[in-house]
Amino acid sequence: MTSLENGDVLKVQQGATQASPDTVLRVDRYGFIVDERSPNGVAHSTASAKEAKKLERKRRKEVLKENSRLEKWQAMIADWTKFQAKHPAIAKRRIRKGIPECLRGLMWQVLANSRTYSAQNPGLYQQLLQEKEAPVEADILRDVHRTFPKHILFRERHGSGQTSLLNVLRSFSIYNPEVGYCQGMGFITGLFLIYMSEEDSFWMLVSLMNNYDMEGLFKPGLPKVRQYFFQFEALIKIFYPRLFAHFEAENIHSSMYASQWFITGFTYNFPFSIVARVWDIFLAEGVKIIFRIGLALLKLKEDELLTLSFEPLLNLFKTITNDLDPETLINTALKLKLTTKQLKELEAQYHRSNSDSTPRPNS
């Protein structure tokens, strides 16, 4: 999908259940609706002229910066495999800074190696679309309209975006019946559809299961989620022992606030500017960034979390990103001294515990 700049205006035809016909919508650069305008184009905005000018200056600065980076990226991806092999540190650094918006869909497919599956299975997706029966179709239909409802692509009930989302999820459930469908898959698939075609999104989903070990996040019983909870609890104890003790005292477990973090990779209810950056890094480096972001959120909110009791704690987690700067969060996450070895050791410890319930690290 072609990227949009902040403040771009789209005129869209709405159905009877939507806003009035010919409503003009203002969307951000990712396609999310910023405000709705009346048919005469007058914005319903409470921002002052001074604030608007400040935001516009910031936007222009960001665009100029990204245009400068775009030239480097275009040269780099001309032969990505060769560049990455020759300059791995540079490639890693540039991905961590953020893939340019207009190249994101292409680069995600390159990083995930998803087009290999497509090339090896020509015509398969079209065959799956023709299948008449999908056992979990009713579950998918129930959830489709809940996925990114404020995004221009998915806003219209039974529109092209929701239809594509249904097609991908339905086809995947037939392709991989062992995984089938789980609610969190909708947001991940929706994320892909924002940046690429329906079929490309399907093969990205296949790649996630095969190359990123994500099947366990969606299989019955969510076995991988339970493992991640155990690892995350242990990491809280290592990095923030006071906070770990406070959570213990208040009987707060990571399953109460971090389920969607791990199941959807932060695609659910997080600022999209954070989501896109997290997925740049995730597809390049793997699941460690998910733990890093979770730990960074706790670090940035630690002082406040330590003052709260059970209910206020859980309420804070619902709005934890409201006042966070995406760059601050990403930088804080990447500075954490978390190693792959630590995660592997904690994974082994989890499996040794051989418990049916989610174990917690020893206090």
| Predicted structure pTM score | 0.86
CA pair distance 177, 338, nearest whole angstrom: 35
The structure tokens 């398969």 sit at 124
- Mean pLDDT for 340-353 is 95
Q: Give the closest residue to 27 by CA, choosing from 38, 40, 36, 16.
A: 36
DSSP 255: G
Q: What's the pLDDT band for 183 if we cut at 50, 70, 90?
A: confident
Q: Read off the pLDDT of each residue in 352-359 and give the average, rounded to a whole number.
A: 62
* Residue 27 Ramachandran class (φ > 0 left, ψ -120 to 50 alpha, else beta): beta
Which one has a higher pLDDT value, 13 or 231?
A: 231
pLDDT (0 to 100) of residue 18 = 46
CA distance 149 to 153: 9
- Phi/psi of residue 240, nearest 5 degrees: -135, 70
192 neighbors 279 (Cβ within 8 angstroms) = no
Q: pLDDT per residue over 3-44, tens digit each?
A: 444 444 444 433 333 444 556 778 888 999 986 443 433 334
Per-residue pLDDT, 275: 97
CA end-to-end span of the chain: 49
- Total Cβ atoms within 10 A of residue 359: 18
Distance CA 241, CA 77 (A): 43
Angle at 258 between CA 204 and CA 270, to 5 degrees: 60
pLDDT digits (tens, 9 = 90+) for 279-299: 999 999 999 999 999 999 999
Instruction: Please report, rounded to a whole number, the percentage of residues in the chain having pLDDT higher than 70.
Output: 87
Rg (CA), the chain: 21
Mean pLDDT, rounded, for 77-99: 95
Count Cβ atoms below 10 Å from residue 257 Cβ, excluding itself: 19
CA angle, 61 then 64 then 67, to 5°: 150
What is the tens place of the pLDDT at every residue in 99-135?
A: 999 999 999 999 999 999 999 999 999 999 999 999 9
pLDDT of 355 strictly over 90: no
